[in-house]
Structure 1
Amino acid sequence: MKYLLKVALTLIVLISICCCKRAPEAASLFNGKDLRGWHMDVPEKDSIPESRDPFIVREGMLVSLGTPPGHLITDDSYTNYRLEVEYRFPGKPGNCGVLVHASTPRALYKMFPKSVEVQMMHENAGDFWCIVEDITTDNMVERRGPEADWGITEGKLRRIKNLTDDSEKPLGQWNSMTVECLEDEVKVWVNGDLVNHGYKATARQGQIAIQAEGAEVEFRKLVLQPIKKLTD
């Protein structure tokens, strides 16, 4: 009887271990000290190597100085994750973006890597920009323009407007942005508001990139949390 009880308890423990999956752990993509885990792609530096680096670490923050234009790209590629970003424009309002599913460098205008951009431009945070990749949303004609002009390369309608106009905080304050990439979907929240939801994305994995696109932007949080489908 004791033997059977011991066997039963052992089976219960084993079943519990098998059935309980640990939640994937979140990890910061920025260590607060240097740009380890990232690399820059700045076309200007091909011909002018002494040009300044547009991405630096300052007072524990990752800073995009805005110029010369280029991208800071993760060394690793990712799929099925939630990216938490906290950023602000400390001076003048301007342009920047987080690129997901990034791959081929300089695929557009000999500058932008193949990707789906999540816009951070002041008063436009959450727009999608299609960069040699594509994504679908509801109300596409209303938000992207005439279907005949849609495209993913130079000269095409690549912008898909976000769903809200008032989710950003005043200039100089910190904004939170969450980008969830799961299978072929991309969802974006700005300060808790769902501002975009795309699906049928033509890419499901890739690197993550930050832009230098004219304005200084500070980042104090870049945390990635792996996620799984509920059916897993």
Structure 2
Amino acid sequence: MYSILRILILICLFNPVYSGLAQGDISLFNGSDLSGWYMDVPDLEVDSSLRIPFIVREGLLVSLGTPQGHLITESSFENYELELDYRFAGEPGNCGILVHASEPRALYKMFPKSIEVQLMHANAGDFWCIQENIEVENMEARRGPKENWGVVEGKERRILNLTDDSENPLGEWNHVRVRCEGREVTVWINNELVNQGFNATALRGQIALQAEGAEVEFKNIQLRKIQLP
């Protein structure tokens, strides 16, 4: 009869979701299907003949870019580090990771209430406030005049990142780490600190990937829970 420990070891060895992960890590993508995620794509509700914008291709999670929408985790998370690798598969373009996502289609009848970590080419690491807010040092220099700030349509929602050259050349993989701890969100691109925010108006929520016009490939999507004292 197998002991409980031996059974757990066998599960880790033969289950690709867990194999190779450090203790406490959670794989958000198993390399074969979109288990644990669901899509919110408004145009598909109007025309079901449109292509599905999120697919699995050769072990990669791929956002085809159009029709535009979001791939959202079924679970919500708080106090964690999210790590993943991404690259633009063809032409450079736009995409993003949303953290603390909640109410669907809260902005422009498309974007869920959240804080976006921008992946747009040459702008990776910007914050975008989507019905949620976050603050940074040197706020006016990085967000514009205070009277224009806001989290709704027509307001200044973009907060510039700290660097201009953290991304690898097009076609190469980039590594992203996003740390959400309490009301802070910190972002590294290729191990370089690119943004650090505080006083976020949300503490927890779902995680979403965007289809926003450009084809983007993702792999190694892992989440590590932060153990607070």
Equivalence for 1:202: 201
Equivalence for 2:80: 81
Q: State the Cα distance separating 1:24 from its structure 2 match.
A: 5.8
2-structure distance, mates of 1:107, 1:50: 25
Equivalence for 1:132: 131
Q: CA RMSD in A?
A: 0.9
2-structure distance, mates of 1:55, 1:150: 33
* Residue identity (%): 64
Equivalence for 1:35: 34
SS in 1 for 2:121: coil
Q: State the Cα distance separating 1:198 from its structure 2 match.
A: 0.2
- For 1:32-181, list aligned pairs within 5 A: 32-181=31-180
1-structure distance, mates of 2:227, 2:24: 12
2-structure distance, mates of 1:145, 1:152: 14
Q: State the Cα distance separating 1:27 from its structure 2 match.
A: 1.3
Gaps of 5+ in 1: 1-22
Q: Which has the larger radius of gyration?
A: 1
Deviations 1:76-103 (A, max 9, x none): 0000000001000021000000000000
Amino acid at match of 1:127: D
Equivalence for 2:3: none
Equivalence for 2:13: none
Structure 1 runs (4+) greater than 3 angstroms displaced? none
2-structure distance, mates of 1:184, 1:125: 21
TM-score (normalizing by structure 2): 0.90
Q: State the Cα distance separating 1:228 from its structure 2 match.
A: 2.3
Amino acid at match of 1:152: V
Q: State the Cα distance separating 1:29 from its structure 2 match.
A: 0.1
SS in 1 for 2:168: coil
Contact 1:98 1:210 (C-alpha < 8 Å) held by counterparts: yes
Q: State the Cα distance separating 1:220 from its structure 2 match.
A: 1.2
2-structure distance, mates of 1:220, 1:39: 17
Amino acid at match of 1:171: L
SS in 2 for 1:45: helix
Gaps of 5+ in 2: 1-21
